Amino acid sequence: MNLKIKILIGINHLAAVYGLLYGNASYLFLSLVGLLLINKVGGEVGLHRYFCHKSFSTTKIKHYILMVLACLNCFGPPLAWVGVHRKHHAYSDTEKDPHGHQPMWRIWTTFWHPFNIETKYVSDLVRNKDQLFVYKWYFWLIGTVMLSLWLVNWQLPIFLISIPSVLSFHLAGLVNTVCHHYGDRDFDTKDHSYNNRWVNAITLGSGLHNTHHAYPASWDNRRHPGDIDLPAIIIEKFLIVKG
């Protein structure tokens, strides 16, 4: 699977370069829509706050929508991503941190070497039939979506999936590098997490990283007036089922 993920990320980068060089304004607008759906809803809301940290509950149909959008980040199946990120929280900023800690650029090598993620980090997900199905058939599912879009218009998979997924990849890298080195610390956590206002503005809500590490199970990282957290708004307005 590690080799397949490398190939998938590499193909998406090549496709993204083509799209950014030769795409017109209409297609680039599609990429902005794709980025919102894939990075914010599928990635930050789905992969991160819902599947990984279980910070809220939602309906069954919205659960499946989040699953599909999470897969389209092209980071690999959610089960694998969750295992990596949970281990990151367990060993944040240490030698065992799979996101790396020094030097800053190491986060961008995250997907280029195999991980040893113990089963205990995903013990809940390996008992879930939906997660196991997606894990087993992940690349077939991605290929089916890509092919379906290609049959409609060969440029659609480039602008709706490849470019947004590549941007999502690098935005995640930005958060996990800058926000472990620079910013403000509202909470005295055991790691080197920071709230970085610039990163938070660029990512529309993923840069309140110190707050997240202090309260990883919270779906809302806003603590001060003016805090930006678009994923929290999406969760509150469209997804959360309050008990």
Whether 15 contacts 158, CB under 8 Å:
yes
- Residues 132-162 have pLDDT tens digits of 999 999 999 999 999 999 999 999 999 999 9
Confidence of residue 115 (pLDDT cuts 50, 70, 90): low
In a domain, 131, yes or no: yes
Q: What is the pLDDT of residue 97?
A: 87
pTM here is 0.94
Instruction: Find all residues with CB under 8 Å of 90, minimum gap 6, and list them.
Output: 96, 121
Is the residue at 172 inside a domain? yes
In-domain check, residue 199: no
Is 62 part of any domain? yes
Q: Rounded to whole angstroms, how far apart are CA atoms 125 and 131?
A: 6
Phi–psi pair at 208, nearest 5 degrees: -85, 60
**CA pair distance 37, 160, nearest whole angstrom:** 10
pLDDT of 102 reads 55
Mean pLDDT of the chain: 92
Alpha helices for 111-196 (secondary structure H): 129-152, 156-157, 163-178
**Tally of CB atoms within 10 A around 197:** 15
Q: pLDDT (tens digit, 9 = 90+) per residue, 212-228?
A: 999 999 999 999 999 99
**Number of continuous H segments (helices) and E segments (strands) in the chain:** 10, 0
- Phi, psi of 184, rounded to the nearest 5 degrees: -115, 150
CA 238 from chain center: how many Å? 19
Residue 112 pLDDT more than 70? no
Q: Which residue has the tokens 């309050």?
A: 242
Is the per-residue pLDDT at 107 higher than 70?
no
117, 84 Cβ separation under 8 angstroms:
yes
Range of the domain at 32: 2-114+123-179+220-239
Q: pLDDT category, 197, cuts 50, 70, 90? A: very high
Q: Average pLDDT for residues 27-42, to the nearest whole number?
A: 96
Q: What pLDDT, on a 0 to 100 scale, did the predictor assign at position 114?
A: 64
Residue 100: Cβ within 10 Å count: 19
Domain presence at residue 104: yes
Mean pLDDT score, 47-74: 98
**Rg of the Cα atoms in the chain:** 17
Q: Is residue 70 part of a domain?
A: yes
Q: What is the mean pLDDT of residues 48-72?
A: 98
Biggest CA pair distance of the chain? 52
* Structure-model confidence comparison of residues 240 and 9, the more confident one: 240
> What is the rounded distance in angstroms from the CA atom of residue 57 to the CA atom of residue 70?
16
Distance between CA atoms of 100 and 81, rounded to whole angstroms?
Answer: 15
- Judge whether residue 103 has pLDDT over 70: no
* Residue 206 belongs to some domain of the structure: no
Q: How far is residue 22's CA from residue 3's CA, in Å, rounded to a whole number?
A: 29
pLDDT at 116: 78
Average pLDDT for residues 234-243, to the nearest whole number? 93
**Total structural domains in the chain?**
1
* pLDDT for position 22: 86
**Would you state the structure tokens that stand for residue 43, as one six-digit string?**
């990635």
Task: Decide: helix, strand or coil at residue 190.
Answer: coil
Task: Indicate if the pLDDT at residue 98 is higher than 90.
Answer: no
Q: Is residue 187 part of a domain?
A: no
